[in-house]
Structure 1
Amino acid sequence: MTPQRHQRTVESADGTLLNVETTGPDDGPVLVLVHGWTCATPFWAPVVNRLPRHVRTVMYDQRGHGSSARPATAAGYSTTALADDLCAVLEAAVPAGTPAVLAGHSMGGMTIMSASRRPAVRDRAAAAALISTGSSRLPHTSTVLPLGPDDSAFRAAVHRAALGAPLPLGPRTPLTRAAIRYITMAPGADRRMKDVTARLVHAMHPVARARWGTVLGTLEADEGLRALDVPAAVVHGTRDRLIPFPHAPRTAGLLPDCRTLVEIPGTGHMTPLEAPDRVAAVLTDLIDAHLPGPASPGTANGKASRSGKAAKAKRTQEAGA
């Protein structure tokens, strides 16, 4: 049974209006889910449906995606804007001092990296999950269009041009669905999840898609990743073409406190759709280990929660120093 959702609108720093959705009990441990490029809150449904019912989830449509507004100008597309939006959502939906697990897929992970130094994040983040994401040199490593040597300037230029192309996708057809599947998912992915992905990508305005693609093509978020000093899990599919698997160990190595690197064999870029059981299990483990609240069977939730609170208090003191 799908948990009941509540919707609200939150205004970001520049006035952009964001669609925010929550599920679960008001007093449950909080999980904040941040989706990636060309997606929207429905992207998380297979994962949310597999989480314990006592978990409270906070999701939002990134600006230019789903039911959130498109920025008025090109200046509204930036990693700073992504960080502003996450902070606005946290301040509106997660009371100050409330510990939360932050989980981001693809551009959602980059959002968390970009906001890692912000007080709104440091006051609330007890742990983080970075799913199918990377912090820099994305067009150099992508294998969507494997032209030229690996990590070459030519390959990077081709992928940057493709990311930033504001081309309308037209109607959903077997051809466009196959192209989207090739780019985002591994062979053998569930047909229903292929259809979900195609609907999400087709629903995005081509200008917004292109402008965010341009941001991804020039992403430099290594320093934000190094500042994300909370217990973290890295999750990645082995057949990811958009952000290939070697980004995962690199991300884990740059994190100050990576606790686990979860490799999901045979999955592409859309891991929460391709392997929702595995992703939900990773998030549940983080919740049980680092948030107060009912524990899943066999976990020592209370002890881990106290250690998570102590670490958060230390980070808050350091941020104010």
Structure 2
Amino acid sequence: MDARTRNNVVVTGNDDGPVVMLAHGFGCDQNLWRLVVPALAEKCRVVLFDHVGAGRSDLSAWDAGPYSTLDAYASDVLDICRELDVRDVVFVGHSVSAMIGVLAVAAEPARFGKLVLLTPSPRYIDDGDYRGGFSAADIEELLDSLESNYLGWSATMAPVIMGTPDRPELGAELTNSFCRTDPEVARVFARTTFLSDNRADLARVTVPTLVVECAQDVIAPRAVGAFVHAQIPGSTLVTLDATGHCPQLSAPEATADAILRFVTSPR
């Protein structure tokens, strides 16, 4: 199966512009980028796709074995780049896809020009002096709740993750996105996401990197953004005046502007 079909690849925008590849996070699909795509598409060739198991990807390609690690998702990213025959790619990874991007860039740095990490977290669980925002017990409770009642978990957690109680329609959209995900896929991807530890991989990034955090984010607090910034040599840290974990929905103009400024800046 070719990667374009497997990952429901969509290419849009300015064919003469730099290639910007947008990768969605847990429980989402490429639709969550729709509010930033128009601004990016004016100057960039935008590549959208769904991770296997999400959106309109080929669900028959999903297998719990290989997709229990982020390396399988990073391998898919590289397959897409090869099939499209693109280089100097600016990879934009949201949430867990930030670390997928880190792994892809580390594996094949010549393929990428720049890296944008949107609300990233290399490890969600606190560890010694490192503060990921959650204790091990917190994460186990979260995963147990997800596995016992995925739809109920989605309805409870999505608004918390979105972090915009004054705009309940955004929380509802994320809830609906979670609920469209197959519960078995969600169970495996959640464990892969929330139990991951990619702190050591950050130093392997050798391309210019932008770290984008939100002023308030319960999933990836600012201490995490500072850590990621400190671990990637020469990276730039931008704090958006936004709340929640999904600024591409809650603050799309600021998110698109931060990405565009970085994409068009000299190296």
Q: TM-score range by the shorter chain?
A: 0.7 to 0.9
Is 1:231 equivalent to 2:208 in the alignment?
Answer: yes
* 8 Å contact kept, 1:39–1:66: yes
Is 1:160 equivalent to 2:133 in the alignment?
Answer: no
Q: Higher helix proportion, which one?
A: 2
* 8 Å contact kept, 2:159–2:168: no
> AA paired with 2:162?
T
Give the Å deviation of 1:94: 4.0
* 8 Å contact kept, 2:91–2:116: yes
1:208-256 deviations in whole A, cap 9, x for unaligned? 1111111123212123211111111111112211222210000000011
> AA paired with 1:282?
A
* 8 Å contact kept, 1:110–1:135: yes
* 8 Å contact kept, 2:15–2:44: no
Q: Look up the match of 1:243.
A: 220
Higher mean C-alpha deviation, range 154-163 or range 263-272: 154-163
In structure 1, what is the Cα distance between the partners aligned to 2:202 and 2:213?
16
In structure 1, what is the Cα distance between the partners aligned to 2:14 and 2:215?
35
Give the Å deviation of 1:134: 1.1
Aligned to 2:9, the other structure's residue is in SS state strand
Is 1:281 equivalent to 2:261 in the alignment?
Answer: no
Q: Report how many residues are paired.
A: 261
In structure 2, what is the Cα distance between the partners aligned to 1:214 and 1:151?
19
Q: Look up the match of 1:3.
A: none
CA RMSD in angstroms, aligned pairs only: 2.6
Is 1:140 equivalent to 2:126 in the alignment?
Answer: yes
* 8 Å contact kept, 2:90–2:113: yes
Matching residue within 3, 6, 17 for 1:11: 3
* 8 Å contact kept, 1:99–1:126: yes
Aligned to 1:72, the other structure's residue is in SS state coil
* 8 Å contact kept, 2:51–2:73: yes
- Runs (4 or more) in structure 1 with deviation over 6 Å come to none
Q: Cα distance 1:226–1:87, how it changes in 2: closer, same or farther (>3 A)?
A: same
**Superposed counterparts of 1:251-290, under 5 Å:** 251-258=228-235, 260-289=236-265
Matching residue within 155, 180, 183 for 1:203: 180
Give the Å deviation of 1:102: 1.0
Greater Cα radius of gyration, structure 1 or 2: 1
**Unaligned runs of at least 5 residues, structure 2:** none
* 8 Å contact kept, 1:184–1:241: no
In structure 2, what is the Cα distance between the partners aligned to 1:240 and 1:224?
23
Aligned to 1:265, the other structure's residue is in SS state strand
**Unaligned runs of at least 5 residues, structure 1:** 1-8, 142-149, 290-303, 309-321
Give the Å deviation of 1:275: 0.9
Aligned to 1:243, the other structure's residue is in SS state coil
Is 1:77 equivalent to 2:57 in the alignment?
Answer: no
In structure 2, what is the Cα distance between the partners aligned to 1:37 and 1:116?
20
Q: Cα distance 1:64–1:266, how it changes in 2: closer, same or farther (>3 A)?
A: same
In structure 2, what is the Cα distance between the partners aligned to 1:123 and 1:90?
11
* 8 Å contact kept, 2:99–2:120: yes
Give the Å deviation of 1:176: 5.9
Q: Cα distance 1:22–1:192, how it changes in 2: closer, same or farther (>3 A)?
A: farther
Q: Cα distance 1:68–1:52, how it changes in 2: closer, same or farther (>3 A)?
A: closer
